[in-house]
Each structure stands twice: as structure tokens, then as C-alpha cells.
Amino acid sequence: MTSFIQNTDFFAGNNPETIASEYGTPVYVYNEKILRDRMAKVAKVITKYPYTANYSVKANTNIHILKLALEEGLNCDAMSIGEITLLMKAGFPVERIFFVPNNVAPYELAFALKNGVMTSLDSLSQLELFGEVCNQMKIEPEKRKCAVRINPGVGAGHHEKVVTGGKKTKFGIAEYSIPQIFEIAEKYQITIAGINQHIGSLFMDPQPYLDAVTNLLRIAHQFKNLEFIDFGGGYGIPYHKLDEEKEFPMEDFKSRLEPILDEFVASYGKAPLFKSEPGRFCVAEGSVILGRVHATKENSGIQFAGSDIGMNVLVRPSMYDSHHDIEVFRDGELVSRDEADLTEQTVTGNICESGDILAKNRLLPKIEEGDLLCVLDTGAYGWSMCSTYNSRPRPAEVMICANGKVKQIRRKETIEDLLSMF
């Protein structure tokens, strides 16, 4: 059996126990080399035609990680004014930011227009609203440019809650409504510069995505002179890596994508800028959470290990039934899964909810009080979905830099922070 931590030398020679005692637990620990590696990979999904990868920042908006994305040549997708503001603060020029919101208020569209950020509209009514806001702001016709999000009619993903592309999901404009897109665009003198889609999150088989690309390119023929076509994100990562699950087959995916693009470029007469929107793939594997076990007990035959990694720190297991591999450290040493007797245990947090479960009936080395848990693949939808539920301040984030040094990239929230809003 493998250890991801050992195979990747995740802590680069630093002892996790030292990190835990210096910054407290729970703490998010990032590895700069892994983050950069994954970002560099998505930057090269298409090499034959003009292409940009837009890192979908909702996966992780730590400003230091946004700066890595900037350095790795990625553009970014933002979902809110908050995300746009963080990106601008991280140094992204507005041309490298794409606003992909849904159900937003006029002031949010006005914010994007005022700052020159390209926006994608997710419904006919939002497109109409965009036109109204342009009128109110007296935007010149040449500057009335936007994209529209198409609902591809097909979806994929690891959980119903993250499949975004099905006919009945809330996202995008149905294909049969495309004629009305043109009517609204003409009414407000808007140029539809791009189309985008997103079928869902976390697929390991490229085929549904390739089918969705083919489908969007078929739809693209209805739009003249598109500047860009954006296929969306969702590339998966192996959450069961301790059981030898393989990485997303990026090379295979790329070689199957290219002929689809060749065919489109030949029939469309030009190559627009192609884009994709990976979030998880860029950041998930570049982070772990270290947390402390404070209690163990047995209840009706179930062996529980109680830690400080509650659902407020990592919500994915309780929200999506997601699996996160766990490695166990004792006195600063990895407890080897090969040598230990693995027993079925349920790992929980410290939140007053029976659903506060990190791992259910999981085969793990027998966990003892004082052990340090290392939860893998927490860089995406980890800290960004943290909450202060039970009035617990949100954890610190530290980075293992490429030179092996440990740097704090977000301080721990304090009780004073919680009180400061009253």
C-alpha cells in the first residue's frame, strides 16, 4: 500500500508534528510544487490552437494561490464581486478575468462592466438585465460584449449536487432558446463574443466531456464570429489514491480532443480562442489538513475517533458523501498501513451534528488519542467552503514552498474576528 505523503515528500522534510504545534490544528497545509505542477498541466490542455485555461477560483481563493495561478499563466473564472476583487488584488489584469455568475443583481453586472470584466449570462432574463444595465450606464455599443452560458443538455459528476449540465439543472440557456438570445442581443446592440458551458464536477472518464465539447461546437455554428468557446471544467482527481486510483488521463484526453477541434476549425473557418475552466484539478491534490485526535470510543460496536476536523473545516464528506483518504501520524512518524492492523473506524469532528463525519467505517490503523490525522486532497472546496458553524474560527493555511520552507498564507481566524461583526 502506498503513502501519498511519502511518495510525494509532501512536507519536504518538515515534520508534520512541528507544523501542527507551530500553527495549531486543524490547519490546511499546501505544497507549492504540486499546485504549480497541476496548474502547468491544465495550461497545456490545447496546444495546437489559441487556448487559455481559466482557473475556477471558487475551488480555492487564497490570494497566495491565486498568485501562483497568475505566474503559471492561467486566467481565472470568478463567480462574484468578492472573487473578482480578490483576483484584481492578486494582480490579475481584468482581461484575464471571466465573470461566470448566475442569478445576480444589477449592481453586480454593473461592477463587471465598470471594471471591464467579460461576463457570461446564464439565462435570457439575465441577458436582458445586462442590456438594461448597459443602457443605464450608457455603455457604447462597441463595448457591449458578453458571453452566454449554454445548458448542454448533458451532465456528469460525482454527485447529483455537482452535475451542472443536465436539462433540468438550474444552469445555462437551453438550446431551443438560442433564437431569443439573438433577439435580445439585437435589441440592446450587444455582441455575443463567446459561449461557455460546464457539465459538472469530477469526472475521471473523458468521454462525457468530449461528447459535450462536440455538442457545444455543433451549437457554436449558430453563432457568427465567436471570439471564444469555453468548454467548462470538471477534470477529476483520484480521491482513492491510497487504493491505487489512477490520475485523470490527461494525455489520452488531449489526444482525443484535438481531432474534434480540427474538425470544428475546418468547418467554422477560423479558430476562436478555446478555453476550459478547471478548478478542482488545479488545487485539490496540493493540500492536506492536519488535525488532532482528542478522543476515541466505542458505541454499539462502532469504533469512533473524534478529531478537531469538523464539518466546519471540511464540509465535503457531510455535504456530498465525499471520500477523503486519511493517513495517520503518531509522534511525528507515519503509521504504516502495511504494518499496522487495519480496523474499521468512523472518524468524526467536534461539531454538534450527527452528520459531522469525516470517514465512515473506514479501514485505518487503530487510531489513538493524540494522533495526528492527515486528510488528503483538501485543496479544492476545502477552506473555500469552511464555515464558522458552532462559532469555531476558521483554520490557518500554510504553504510548503518550493524551497522547502513553511510559510503561513492565512492566519487563523480568532474569536475577536467573530465578535467584530456586532
Distance of CA 380 to the CA centre of its chain: 5
**59 touching ligand PLP, by CB under 6 A:** yes
**232 touching ligand PLP, by CB under 6 A:** yes
**280 touching ligand PLP, by CB under 6 A:** yes
**278 touching ligand PLP, by CB under 6 A:** yes
Residue 54's nearest CA partner among 381, 378, 377, 274 is 274
Which residue's CB is nearer to ligand PLP, number 3 or number 75?
75
Task: Write the DSSP assignment of 115-145 as a string of letters.
Answer: HT-EEEE-SHHHHHHHHHHHHHTT--GGG-E
**CB-neighbour burial class of residue 391 (10 A; exposed 0-12, middle 13-18, buried 19+):** exposed
Residue 233 CB, shortest distance to ligand PLP, in Å, is: 3
Q: Which residue is nearest to ligand PLP (CB)?
A: 279
**201 touching ligand PLP, by CB under 6 A:** yes
Residue 141 dihedral angles phi and psi, to the nearest 5°: -55, -40
| Cα–Cα distance, 100 to 108 (Å, whole number) | 11
Cell of 48: 495546437
Residue 16 CB, shortest distance to ligand PLP, in Å, is: 27
3-state secondary structure of 179: helix
Q: Please identify, among the stretches 14-22, 210-218, 275-283, 331-339, the one whose residues bind ligand PLP according to the rule CB under 6 A.
A: 275-283
User: Between 14 and 43, how does the x/- string for binding to ligand PLP read (CB under 6 A)?
Assistant: ------------------------------
Q: Please identify, among the stretches 55-63, 334-342, 344-352, 395-403, the one whose residues bind ligand PLP according to the rule CB under 6 A.
A: 55-63
Task: Write the DSSP assignment of 307-353 as a string of letters.
Answer: ES--TTT--HHHHH-----EEEEETTEE--TTTSPEEEEEEE-SSS-
Query: Residues with Cβ < 8 Å from 249, sequence gap 6 or more?
Result: 204, 206
CA-CA distances (angstroms) from residue 83 to 66, 108, 133, 183? 10, 12, 21, 31
Cβ–Cβ under 8 Å, residues 199 and 234: yes
| Cα–Cα distance, 73 to 86 (Å, whole number) | 17
Let me know if 352 is a catalytic residue: yes
**202 touching ligand PLP, by CB under 6 A:** yes
**277 touching ligand PLP, by CB under 6 A:** yes
Which residue's CB is nearer to ligand PLP, number 275 or number 410?
275
Which residue's CB is nearer to ligand PLP, number 32 or number 230?
230
| Cα–Cα distance, 108 to 81 (Å, whole number) | 7
Q: Please identify, among the stretches 125-133, 197-205, 244-252, 387-395, the one whose residues bind ligand PLP according to the rule CB under 6 A.
A: 197-205
Cβ–Cβ under 8 Å, residues 165 and 198: yes
User: Between 71 and 110, how does the x/- string for binding to ligand PLP read (CB under 6 A)?
Assistant: ------x----------------------x----------
Buried b or exposed e, range 292-320, using 16+ CB within 10 angstroms: bbeebeeeeeebbbbbbbbbbbbbbbbeb
Q: Please identify, among the stretches 227-235, 308-316, 331-339, 350-358, the one whose residues bind ligand PLP according to the rule CB under 6 A.
A: 227-235
Cβ–Cβ under 8 Å, residues 208 and 201: no
Q: Please identify, among the stretches 140-148, 174-182, 276-284, 301-309, the one whose residues bind ligand PLP according to the rule CB under 6 A.
A: 276-284
Rg (CA), the chain: 23
Q: Please identify, among the stretches 44-52, 237-245, 266-274, 279-287, the one whose residues bind ligand PLP according to the rule CB under 6 A.
A: 279-287
Candidates 76, 146, 282, 352; catalytic one: 352
Which residue's CB is nearer to ligand PLP, number 59 or number 127?
59
**198 touching ligand PLP, by CB under 6 A:** yes
Task: Tell me how long the chain is.
Answer: 422
DSSP designation for 171: -
Q: Which of 16, 165, 234, 317 binds ligand PLP (CB under 6 A)?
A: 234
Which residue's CB is nearer to ligand PLP, number 16 or number 194?
194
**56 touching ligand PLP, by CB under 6 A:** yes
Which residue's CB is nearer to ligand PLP, number 77 or number 371?
77
Active-site amino acid positions: 352
Binding residues vs ligand PLP (CB under 6 A): 56, 58-59, 77, 100, 198, 201-202, 232-235, 277-281, 380
